[in-house]
Amino acid sequence: MASLNKVLLIGNLTRDPQLSYLPSQTAVVDFGLAVNRKWTSKEGEKKEDTCFVDCTAFGRQAENISKYLTKGRPLFVEGRLTFNSWTAQDGTKRNKLKVTVENFQFLGQAQAAGNNNYQAEQDNSASQQQPEDDDIPF
């Protein structure tokens, strides 16, 4: 039987991203995402519901999320569900579903500022890595 674990979310950050590093020096960022759902009830009443989702990203993506995003900024996240289970200090078993980010995209007003800065950073690093025309052996 085939299986699929894919999550697509668009929402706003509920808090500033918290960047840390694993012992292997891999960047890890944790952040919350608020995803709103609007609908109309059978009686014609407009309703809204908010789902709060914890997310984790790794590596370069974690560093970029931490650098360019703050609480309230919109974000598109593509990832997978991850199930965590542990025993709390009081002995009770706890578990939680999180989204492990595999890809993301800046959205809204933050997109213009964030992507331009990110693109400029990529352009600068690319230009530093590119050999000059005189150094090309052909």
Task: Give the global pTM.
Answer: 0.73
Kindly tell me the sign of the dihedral angle through the C-alpha atoms of 19, 12, 72, 105: positive
* pLDDT per residue as tens, the chain (138 positions): 899 999 999 999 999 999 999 999 999 999 999 999 999 999 999 999 999 999 999 999 999 999 999 999 999 999 999 999 999 999 999 999 999 999 999 997 644 444 444 444 444 444 344 444 445 443
DSSP E strands in the chain: the ranges are 7-13, 18-21, 27-40, 46-58, 74-87, 93-106
Predicted local confidence at residue 107, as pLDDT: 92
Q: Is residue 100 left, alpha or beta, with left meaning phi > 0 and alpha meaning psi from -120 to 50?
A: beta
Architecture (CATH level 2) of domain 17-38+47-90: Beta Barrel (2.40)
d(CA 27, CA 22): 7
Q: Where are the domains of the chain?
A: 17-38+47-90
Enumerate residues 6+ apart whose C-beta is below 8 A from 21: 27, 28
Instruction: Collect contacts of 89-94 with beta carbons under 8 A, ≥24 apart.
Output: none
